[in-house]
Structure 1
Amino acid sequence: MAGGRMRFWLIIFLLTVPAVCSLASTGSLERHQVSPQDLHQEAFEPLPGFNAALIVTPGDEFDKILNMPPDNRTDFTRVDTLRIGEQAELHVIFTNPLIDENNFADVTFDVQIIKPGNIIKKYSRLEGITGKLQRSNSNAYLAKAFMRLKADNSDPVGEWNILVTIHDNKRSTSISDSVMITLVR
């Protein structure tokens, strides 16, 4: 694509999948292993009932999560540093959305990316899940929408602040989470 700017592709999953993750730790991305149990202590301040978090994973490895047998799911890999030419994916996970009498939930989220130089990009009302839940609402859900980031040579190096607000629209409750990614050459 022209312009050489950080590219953000919004990709819609056709299926909602459980968000219990495990990834190998290879390649040049700077990574930290985080267990699913750490989400409640590290990633966000939980509200009664509805819980949500933002995770950033290596872009080339996330698909492996979708095909792992449940017995092999332990930890996922979190990205803190991204080098020019590398990719990462932003994923939202949540539990316990309020459902109506027909088992319908409505979860959306907003993303705000603040680049060095106070350049701000906003993406609103991205789909977490809208419609009938096929599993219990207490299960962990991966938002249908996610963003893929690819760093190009003309992107400004430094701290990229990614703010996400996840909305349980039926409950009229929102949870905010953020991550900082350092872009380096």
Structure 2
Amino acid sequence: MKSILILLYLLVLAVPTAHAGIGDNWYRDGRPAADDDTRKTIDGFGAAVILTSDKDWSEKWNTPSDVIPRFTTVDKLHRGESATLLIFFANPKQDAEGNVDITCDVKTIRPDNRVTEDKGLPGFKGKIAGSAKNTFLTQVAIKFVVEPNDPLGEWTFEVTVHDNQRHVAVPLKYRFTLVGVDSMTPEFKKE
């Protein structure tokens, strides 16, 4: 899998709804959601990760804060497809001037046990807009493009989101399966 690291210096918008970190919980459809591999809260700092097939994920995110972005998550990819890993955080600790300092580590583990690791990726540094308890998108998004020789099977992304002011690290995992060509997908049909 070709991984293209895209550092996106987006205007980070607050979204107080889906995946909103309020207090010590993540919320889904207005109700507290339990911690799992893809979203957790430790000492009040929350982090979440998704893998989306949405090509327009940036447009979905960059909307008014009262619009709930709905992302299509991926648990299976076929050769020739791509997806983007998005990392979110909520309730970071602010220093006396109101600044936060978030970094991310991303490890990719392939089915053949080959590992790629990037540490200290910039998550967000500076002042955040709105309440710290809102959900924010980190400044890093990683686009994964499946290549013809990538091994089939389960792929794992181990993501650690660091709140460097609070000295807390939230470990997350996202798994998906790479499968062969889907004969029902029109672009892969043989003529």
Sort the TM-score into its range (normalised by shorter chain).
0.7 to 0.9
CA distance in 2, matches of 1:89, 1:38: 26
Gaps of 5+ in 1: 1-5, 22-33
With 115-124 and 134-143 compared, the bigger mean Cα shift is at: 134-143
CA distance in 1, matches of 2:97, 2:176: 40
Q: 1:104 to 1:74 in 2, by over 3 A?
A: closer
Q: How many residues end up aligned between the 2 structures?
A: 169
1:37 to partner: Cα distance: 5.4
Q: 1:138 to 1:180 in 2, by over 3 A?
A: same
Q: 1:164 maps to what in 2? A: 159
Q: 2:44 maps to what in 1? A: 49
Q: Is the 8 A contact 2:40 2:48 kept in 1?
A: no
Q: 1:59 to 1:151 in 2, by over 3 A?
A: farther
Match of 2:5 among 7, 10, 14: 10
1:36 to partner: Cα distance: 5.9
1:49 to partner: Cα distance: 1.4
Gaps of 5+ in 2: 19-26, 181-191
SS in 2 for 1:77: coil
Q: 2:95 maps to what in 1? A: 100
Q: 1:119 to 1:12 in 2, by over 3 A?
A: same
CA distance in 1, matches of 2:55, 2:138: 18
CA deviations on 1:16-37 (whole Å, 9 max, x unpaired) are 233566xxxxxxxxxxxx9465
1:65 equivalent to 2:57? Answer: no
SS in 2 for 1:113: strand
Q: Is the 8 A contact 1:106 1:168 kept in 2?
A: yes
Percent sequence identity over matched residues?
Answer: 32
Q: Which has the larger radius of gyration?
A: 2
Q: Is the 8 A contact 2:105 2:161 kept in 1?
A: yes
CA deviations on 1:106-157 (whole Å, 9 max, x unpaired) are 0001000000111000011111101122322122110001100010111111
CA distance in 1, matches of 2:32, 2:78: 25
1:44 to partner: Cα distance: 2.9
CA distance in 2, matches of 1:106, 1:51: 14
Q: Is the 8 A contact 2:60 2:69 kept in 1?
A: no
CA distance in 2, matches of 1:55, 1:130: 21
CA distance in 2, matches of 1:93, 1:154: 31
CA distance in 1, matches of 2:135, 2:59: 18
- Structure with greater helix share of residues: 1
Q: Is the 8 A contact 1:35 1:74 kept in 2?
A: no
TM-score (norm 1): 0.81
CA distance in 2, matches of 1:39, 1:13: 29
